[in-house]
Amino acid sequence: MDHLKQKVAHHLSVIYSDVTLDITTDTLADEVMSIMRLDSEVCNPVAHQNHWSQEDVILITYGDSIKTENQPPLQTLHGFLQDYCNDVITSVHILPFFPYSSDDGFSVINFSAVNESLGDWQDISSISGDYHLMADLVINHCSSRSLWFENFKLGREPGLDYFVTADPKDDIEQVVRPRTSPLLRETQTNEGIKHVWCTFSHDQVDLNFKNPEVLKEFIAIIRLYLDKGVKIFRLDAVAFLWKKLGTRCINLDQTHEVVRLIRTLVEHSSEHAMLITETNIPNRENLTYFGNANEAHCIYNFSLPPLLVNTLVTGNCKYLKQWMMSMPPAQNGTAYFNFIASHDGIGLRPAEGLLKDEELNTLINTMQSFGGRISWRATNGGVNKAYEINIALIDALQGTVKGPDKWGIDRFICAHAIMLSLEGIPGIYIHSLLGTGNDYEKVKHTNHNRSINRHQWDYEELVNQLGQEWTQHAQTYSRLKHLIKLRVEQPAFHPNATQFTLHLGDQMFGFWRQSMDRRQSIFCINNISDEVINLSLSDINLISTDNWCDLITGTVYDSIELGIEVQPYQTLWISNL
């Protein structure tokens, strides 16, 4: 216990090294540990222990992505998971299910309550009893309609010093923003006009972690979520957490130390709890959130979506292959979180330095021609720059730079086959599993670009669509389910199993996976073009004494000298077991 307290106190001393506190870091450590009940209940985490296997697949969904009359949406979701996903996923990420005022849940009014329109804590606990539950810790900001912000304006606690303020004359030129709105929001308070820091929107006011009371509030929230069955904590927008005038206010040392502190507290409170950092930033910066296996257990592989979509619409895997060869293997105890579609869009910042401007412009223009929208951010020079592409993935892959074609669903399945076989834990967005297209009506209704990929299904209509084999929804669900069921049976697809890139030309994206016990090898071969490609098995150095077969089709290869015609967007998982 003394060692743990020393560790917590050290984290706090680093976080508050430039802040004058009213209490000592030792006293603050005692308070933090008491909130987490670490004064009486302590787990002993094992260093570099993997909390996952090839069997783990995470479904990403809103609490009300599927609705039915006269039933709380969380109960409808639970029923859908049991009826359609029991043999597909092990975990579910329910996007913010708290009372909120904007941004579809990410402007939280009350972190400790369940949105009544979705259900209650019992519904959350029921889902966490059947699946590993991933929940958002929206840690950078809260709603301007929260009690904390109302108290801030009135000059009373809790909330008095809970928010970051600045003078418009302060040096904020370097601040990195993902939005085009002004950084500072003019706010009338009992003490006069104050300018409140808003990294995202003016309804999302940034919290002041220089005040340890704010940190303690979030430690209590973490403890509550653990008690309700949350296993995986998604640290939303955490890169922006700490502010220091005259800097970029992103990825600061104190931010990393806060992540380390949360890691220490969570893993000593719950043996299998995990942190995933949501840091939609350039690839090199994103990788730093692994720390030395002492920060995030998992980091979002944000560069994968833009690179993979670019690969499939251009028919050239050059940039994807270059990136993959540059990615360090995740050491045991850490893993990449792979995804190719989400409730947001296809982020473009993670492609900076990986795709040339000309490639990015072609990608943007192609996505716009497929019905996509573009969201923008402000740069230091005052020029707006494309931040993300908003589009449903199945529509993003309906064609190539040449236009729509007949290979849309095959291209979409190829994208998921690549994602499912890469090093890391796969996350599948519910609207990818269901083959949901662009929702233009919702965009018109909300006037928000991101709504294009946030459709709400009527459960009865969804069941009807999935029951008819010819529908886009039934085809994508059936084919993805087949791939997932194959994936979870292969030791070579363990998130930390060895991975090497193969060199098979620009139209064939290939890599080799080997199980951690070295018994199984899988050669993952993907034709990312709209042309038939002839492949000789001798090109991928199969061992002649092993028996090889394609797991997806069941085809057995009697000779490694065979030539194979790989169809457009076909994937081969050639395994020796």
Contact 471, 496 (CB under 8 A): no
**In whole angstroms, what is the distance from residue 259 CA to residue 211 CA?**
16
- For residue 394, how far is the Cα from the chain centroid? 18
Nearest alpha-carbon partner for 531 in 507, 503, 504: 507
Cα separations (Å) of 243 from 175, 255, 295, 377? Answer: 9, 9, 19, 19
State yes or no: is 539 an active-site residue. Answer: no
- Please list the helix, strand and coil fractions of the chain in percent, rounded to the nearest 5, in that order: 35, 20, 45
> Strands 399-400 and 403-404, how do they pair?
antiparallel
The helix (run of H) or strand (run of E) holding residue 526 is: strand 521-527
Q: DSSP string of 402-441?
A: TEE-TTHHHHHHHHHHHHHHSSSEEEEEHHHHTT----HH
Axis-axis angle for helices 408-421, 472-487 (nearest 10): 20
The CB density around residue 24, as the number of other CB atoms within 10 Å, is 12
Q: Residues 203, 206, 236, 344: which is the catalytic one? A: 236
* Continuous segment of H or E residues that includes residue 512: strand 508-514
Cβ neighbourhood burial of 567 (10 Å; 0-12, 13-18, 19+)? middle
Q: Is the dihedral of CA 146, 152, 158, 161 positive or negative?
A: positive
Closest by CA to 180, choosing from 206, 165, 199, is 199
For residue 175, give Cα distances in angstroms to 182, 235, 251. 11, 20, 11
Pull the structure tokens for residue 17.
């090294």
* Residues catalogued as catalytic: 236
